[in-house]
């Protein structure tokens, strides 16, 4: 008996019942105005008093030092007015500036994303309203990401081609600046917070879909990434579509290893979470990059 065909969620905007979300074109980022074309250099041969000359030299030196510092900050991305800073700021608005389908497409192709390099195809079956983070995370995870704040949370749930597995992928848009995001990423890496079962993200279950029974006890594998080039914490959590409970969930980073023998690993649920999260992150970065491109 062939499995029922999954139908993508008809909602195309973050607010249920709304029409197709309009595509927003991004304007050219603000840059430096440069010098006014009527400004002219002081004519050569003009005599200058010694004191005035010394003051002018100090002024030139000071401007050179300031310019060097600004240039260094611009190139390293530490300043908010450089390309990196502009891109980071622009990405913070993507949660309400792009259509649902651009971040969470109805169908996602996962070439080589399955166990042993098998291909995967995921179909979107539910899109959550854009929301805050109050009830979206377990208390410990909510506390862990609190330093960067919660601007908005976007979530969608997918199923595989056989409707055997379900995976929720989420994008938490934070209020953190580049330094705060880097600090959080460092903490997650050093303390291995992305592998702690008590810091698993919660799934998004939608009635009338294959994910209707995808609750907290059905979580089998997960992945969390604190991004530093955009103010986003990306995650995915996977489980079986039949509602079975999982006693020992396993982080995707461990479940995708060829020698892993746990039930989530053997079923490929680590690959489901990791593969879908990777592709959604990639689309997010591409979208953020286009938002800051100058028109040709």
Query: What is d(CA 202, CA 16) in angstroms, rounded to the nearest whole number?
Result: 20
pLDDT in tens, 131-161: 999 888 999 999 999 999 999 999 999 999 9
pLDDT in tens, 282-293: 999 998 888 766
Give per-10-residue mean pLDDT for the chain (296 aa): 45 44 33 39 44 46 39 33 66 89 95 89 96 90 96 97 96 97 97 96 95 97 97 98 96 93 95 96 90 59
């Amino acid at each position: 008996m062939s499995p029922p065909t999954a139908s993508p969620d008809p909602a195309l905007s973050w607010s249920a019942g709304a029409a197709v979300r309009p595509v927003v074109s991004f304007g050219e980022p603000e840059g430096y105005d440069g010098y006014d074309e009527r400004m002219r250099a002081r004519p050569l041969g003009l005599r200058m008093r010694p004191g005035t000359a010394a003051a002018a030299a100090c002024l030139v030196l000071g401007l050179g030092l300031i310019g060097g510092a600004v240039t260094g900050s611009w190139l390293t991305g530490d300043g908010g007015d450089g390309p990196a800073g502009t891109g980071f700021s622009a990405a913070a608005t993507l949660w309400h500036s792009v259509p649902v389908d651009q971040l969470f497409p109805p169908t996602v192709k996962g070439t080589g994303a399955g166990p042993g390099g098998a291909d995967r195809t995921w179909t979107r079956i539910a899109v959550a309203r854009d929301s805050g983070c109050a009830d979206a995370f377990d208390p410990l995870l909510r506390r862990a990401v609190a330093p960067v704040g919660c601007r908005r949370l976007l979530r969608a749930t997918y199923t595989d081609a056989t409707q055997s597995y379900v995976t929720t992928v989420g994008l938490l848009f934070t209020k953190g600046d580049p330094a705060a995001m880097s600090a959080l990423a460092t903490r997650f890496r050093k303390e291995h917070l992305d592998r702690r079962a008590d810091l698993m993200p919660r799934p998004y279950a939608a009635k009338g879909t294959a994910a209707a029974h995808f609750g907290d006890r059905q979580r089998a594998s997960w992945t969390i990434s604190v991004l530093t080039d955009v103010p986003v914490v990306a995650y995915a959590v996977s489980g079986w579509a039949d509602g079975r409970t999982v006693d020992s969930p396993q982080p995707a980073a461990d479940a995708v290893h060829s020698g892993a023998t746990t039930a989530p690993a053997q079923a490929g649920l680590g690959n489901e979470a990791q593969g879908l999260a990777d592709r959604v992150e990639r689309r997010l970065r591409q979208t953020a990059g286009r938002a800051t491109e100058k028109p040709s």
